[in-house]
Amino acid sequence: MFEDLYFAYGSNMEPERMQSRCPGAKAEGTALLTDWEVRIGLRGVATIVESPDAETWGVLWAVTPSDVRSLDQVEGVARGLYGPASVDVRGPEDVCTARIYIEKFKGDGRPRPGYLQIVLDGARHFDLPTSYRARLAGLGN
């Protein structure tokens, strides 16, 4: 039973990765988060920072309570790596509230080896806008 929506903007957009982490999750489609910008943090993975007029595209997943527990673990919530938050995103049908994970951003970093390709594979799979995919490809340069 789905009880939550989760907005993925990084490697969790990639369906196989998400399936391995959250076997109960179901992709609802693409979504847009405004006034936030995706960045690569010092740990080499994606996060978002508030930025007026910015847009972050991603994938909206319906998740079960078990999936949320798995995401909390994978995202390192207990270790303080990422914190969960709720944001309003424009989903496939309307604006909705979704769970998101935000790293405590301390500066720009470079993507871990292979990480950006996973993000790009997810963005391509869900056919995010071409201009946005180009922006993702340039992260960390």
Residues annotated as part of the active site: 75
Q: Exposed/middle/buried for 138, CB within 10 Å: 0-12, 13-18, 19+?
A: exposed
Quote the tokens at residue 73. Answer: 């673990």
What span, in angstroms and rounded, lies between the C-alpha atoms of 101 and 41? 13
Strand-pair category, 95-103 with 82-90: antiparallel
Contacts of residue 95, Cβ cutoff 8 Å, sequence gap at least 6: 88, 89
What span, in angstroms and rounded, lies between the C-alpha atoms of 60 and 42? 26
What span, in angstroms and rounded, lies between the C-alpha atoms of 60 and 18? 12
